[in-house]
């Protein structure tokens, strides 16, 4: 299959590599020269911007940082969209903005899906991402060969925008886990509990969660955690802040109560202002530790 990929960031580049490894004809575009060169070295071809990628592809996947970036890509690609083309947005953006992109693309005769991702950079590298798909089921079946090489699970959530809502729900829970994990481990450390002992207890108790298993925000407790590896991001602090803002805005639109983002967002802001914005979101634990004097 001829597959286009636009946005070769920390998630997009390994996803594109999986597509090449699956013997798809992959054409890429990105803002930075380095990732394009890396994708070409892996066997992809460089396209002439978003419009050139869409022109050369049957299915084009977008993986860009925010709503404005998705709109800009669709703006550029519109002249090349027609019946037989499929666009899949794997970014995490505002559900209402996403619904508008569905309408714009469908108006050309092309098809559109949203497929925001969960699994972080580790999932992207391992090809085990979870995709939360919004759009028509028939379009998903047509695009599935271009998604399966980097997916461990593909779930059709429902119509346009609902994939994005599911992703925001997931990230809201993860953000709450991360703050609770930072507070609990800081409390334990300040009280004199060995955090390796606490970790063993938690993963066999009701406190078990993804943040506990992967992101204890103390160096040397978990060998594979960001804290033990220079706070290398599996999911950046600034991106979680963006997603919580999207969650709050969507909840306000539909008048659904929302308490957690207001608390976690303050810690993420403090982490970003401290210079941790491009580090893993678990770096918010450094703020909690600093306040505790640990």
Q: Would you name the residues annotated as active-site residues?
A: 167
CB 58 within 8 A of CB 1: yes
Nearest-CA neighbor of 92 among 51, 134, 123? 134
Helix axes 95-106, 67-77, angle to 10 degrees: 10
Angle at 22 between CA 20 and CA 24, to 5 degrees: 60
Cα dihedral value 182, 184, 187, 189, nearest 10 = -80
Q: Are strands 2-6 and 59-62 parallel, antiparallel or unpaired?
A: parallel
Structure tokens at 179: 């703050």
Which residues pair with residue 95 across a beta bridge?
none
Helix axes 162-191, 237-254, angle to 10 degrees: 120
Round to whole Å and give the CA distance between 135 and 142: 12
Cα torsion 149, 153, 158, 163: sign: negative
Which residues pair with residue 77 across a beta bridge?
none
């Amino acid at each position: 299959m001829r597959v286009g990929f636009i946005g070769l960031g920390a998630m997009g580049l390994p996803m594109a590599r999986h597509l090449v490894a699956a013997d798809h004809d992959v054409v890429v575009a990105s803002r930075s020269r380095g990732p394009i060169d890396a994708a070409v070295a892996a066997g992809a071809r460089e396209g002439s911007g978003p419009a050139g990628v869409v022109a050369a592809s049957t299915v084009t996947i977008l993986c860009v940082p925010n709503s404005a970036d998705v709109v800009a890509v669709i703006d550029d690609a519109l002249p090349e969209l027609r019946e037989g083309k499929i666009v899949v947005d794997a970014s995490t953006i505002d559900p209402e903005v996403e619904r508008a992109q569905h309408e714009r693309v469908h108006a050309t005769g092309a098809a559109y899906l949203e497929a925001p991702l969960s699994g972080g950079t580790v999932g992207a590298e391992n090809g085990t991402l979870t995709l939360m798909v919004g759009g028509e089921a028939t379009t998903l079946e047509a695009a599935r060969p271009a998604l399966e090489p980097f997916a461990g699970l593909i779930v059709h959530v429902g119509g346009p925008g609902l994939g994005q809502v599911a992703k925001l729900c997931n990230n809201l829970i993860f953000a709450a886990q991360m703050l609770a994990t930072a507070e609990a481990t800081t409390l334990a450390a300040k009280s004199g509990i060995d955090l390796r002992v606490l970790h063993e207890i938690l993963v066999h108790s009701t406190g078990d969660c993804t943040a506990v298993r992967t992101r204890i925000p103390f160096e040397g407790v978990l060998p594979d955690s960001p804290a033990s590896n220079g706070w290398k991001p599996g999911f950046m602090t600034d991106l979680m802040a963006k997603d919580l803002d999207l969650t709050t805005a969507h909840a306000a639109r539909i008048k659904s109560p929302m308490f957690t983002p207001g608390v976690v967002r303050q810690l993420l802001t403090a982490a970003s202002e401290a210079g941790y914005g491009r580090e893993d979101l678990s770096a918010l634990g450094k703020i909690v530790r600093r306040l505790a004097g640990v």
